[in-house]
A and B are shown apart, each in its own frame.
Chain A
Amino acid sequence: MILVVPSLIITLMYFMFQNAPHRPGTPPPFNNACLIMLGVFPLIVMFLITSITMQRERVSGTLERILTTPLRRLDLLAAYGTAFSIAAAAQATLACVVSFWFLGLDTKGSPILVFTIAIINAVLGVGLGLLCSAFARTEFQAVQFMPVVIAPQLLLCGIIVPRDVLPDWLHWISNVVPASYALEALQQVGAYSEPTAIAVRDIAVVIGFAVIALCLAAATLRRRTP
């Protein structure tokens, strides 16, 4: 289901935009929306999966138990990160293939770059999910972190209202949420054939956020608890 659903939703969007009018000379609106989805899906899905899985580990006691084994905390995070990133990579591959080949998504920049950004978003989702799992007492609470952590990012990152026309204080907030940079990078790739400086900077920023989230998550893994 993880694999197929994003592709299906992107296909659904394709048909939504099929008869939508657009000015000649500008890219079809589907292009923009599809790019956004390719970036957003890995973030949301990986956040959900990781936060719930890790929350289960914490509550069931398996986390405490595996922390009494010689396992190092970084190994644990790396294992989680890679396992889920592989799932995310498979998902993003399928979604990209469907979008670029069957639905005629056209970007000026390389599809590989779109794919890369999708993966980095997935790792960011894993990091945020691991971190949030520490603050949820039940799986039910873990799910509720999604609207708390992900929804404001999606609202402020420029999908609905361009960031430039946001009021100042919201603009400031949107400057410090990783999704803004992920989206900007995707739009840059959509608009320019070569990777631009802005796109590279944005990708670096998102990677930075992912690393910070993973490090904070590592700090919540305690071998000794009260």
Chain B
Amino acid sequence: MMSSSSDELLRNGVEPVIDVQNLRVIRGKRVALENISVQIARGTITGLLGPSGCGKTTLMRSIVGTQIIAEGTVTVLGRPAGSAELRHRVGYVTQDPTIYNDLRIVDNVRYFAALYGTDSNAADQAISAVGLQDHRTALCGNLSGGQRTRASLACALVAHPDLLVLDEPTVGLDPVLRVDLWEQFDQLARSGTTLLVSSHVMDEADHCGDLLLMREGHLLAHTTPTKLREDTGCQSLEEAFLSVIRHSTATAAG
């Protein structure tokens, strides 16, 4: 099942969960993000796609509120990104699993449960949700890459966040697990959670209701998989994305 797109929801006057206006971020001496404006509605799954190094993580960090921004505003759930009140409501899963390797899965998740102020019941639920209940007492250092990714995800799910920001959660996972995870994301979206998921694998884009295509710090398009196919006339999203890039470079040159 595909979730609905932000566009139609926002047209109906729904307050956006994420509202980015003219965002500009400078990292080191490079401009990492240039004039990004985007709105994302509640209960959607938005895929953030683009080649590695195009600014996906920087945009995500700006939305979570860990990135110093140069210009523009980032509003999340009606408040400036990174506000104290948002810390209960925004879950962030970094690209590399950020869990403590010398703790067991269950201790990791309980630790984050304690930080978010939820109980150990929530921790057990989160572990089941990512399918790690059989390994709950395993040391995280002994887990496989995919299991560590899921343990890291469980540490974010435990907070029952309204907005879940996931940085390449499916990298290095086998196809079965990827399908499982996307099903879970669908479920979360249906229950009202807003998800922002980055990936550089285009074939995952079909799971998303919305797509943000990025390249070199610029937002090329905010579209849906169907619309992207229609606009470009390509069947595969990979080709469609390439066509958008060619088009945008042609416009810039011309």
Which residues of A does B touch, CB under 8 Å? 60-62, 64-71, 223-226
Contact = CB atoms under 8 A, between A and B. Distances in A.
Contact of B98 (A60, A71, A224): A60
A66 B66 contact: no
Nearest to B101: A60
Contacts of A225: 66-68
B249 to A, nearest CB: 29
Interface string B121-150: 000000000000000000000000000000
B88 interface: yes
Contact of A226 (B68, B96, B159): B68
Interface string B86-105: 01101010101011100000
Contact of A65 (B67, B68, B94): B94
Nearest to A64: B66
B241 interface: no
A67 B87 CA distance: 9
B251 to A, nearest CB: 31
17 contacts: A61-B98, A64-B66, A68-B66, A68-B87, A68-B90, A68-B92, A70-B115, A70-B117, A71-B87, A71-B115, A223-B65, A223-B66, A224-B66, A224-B68, A225-B68, A226-B27, A226-B68
Nearest to A70: B87
B7 to A, nearest CB: 28
Closest 7 CB pairs of A and B: A69-B115, A61-B98, A70-B87, A65-B98, A62-B98, A224-B68, A71-B115
B132 to A, nearest CB: 18
B18 interface: no
Contacts of B185: none
A142 to B, nearest CB: 17
A69 B112 contact: yes
Nearest to A76: B115
B65 A224 contact: yes
Contacts, number: 53
B116 A61 contact: no
B27 A68 contact: no
Contacts of A68: 64-66, 87, 90, 92
A216 B115 CA distance: 23
Decide if the interface of chain A is mainly helix, strand, loop or mixed.
Answer: loop
Interface in B50-101: 64-68, 82, 84, 87-88, 90, 92, 94, 96, 98-100
A189 B84 CA distance: 47
Nearest to A72: B84
Interface string B167-192: 00000000000000000000000000
Contacts of B115: 66, 69-71
Contacts of A67: 66
A71 B114 CA distance: 9
Nearest to B100: A62
Given A68-B92, A69-B112, 5 more contacts: A60-B96, A62-B98, A66-B115, A71-B115, A226-B68
B77 to A, nearest CB: 14
A61 B99 CA distance: 9
Contacts of B90: 68
A224 B84 CA distance: 13
A69 B98 contact: no
Nearest to B87: A70
A70 B94 contact: no
Contacts of A61: 94, 96, 98
A60 B82 CA distance: 21
A190 to B, nearest CB: 40
A68 B76 CA distance: 14
Given A69-B87, A69-B159, A224 B117 contact: no
B34 to A, nearest CB: 16
Contacts of A60: 96, 98
A226 B96 CA distance: 19
A31 B229 CA distance: 83
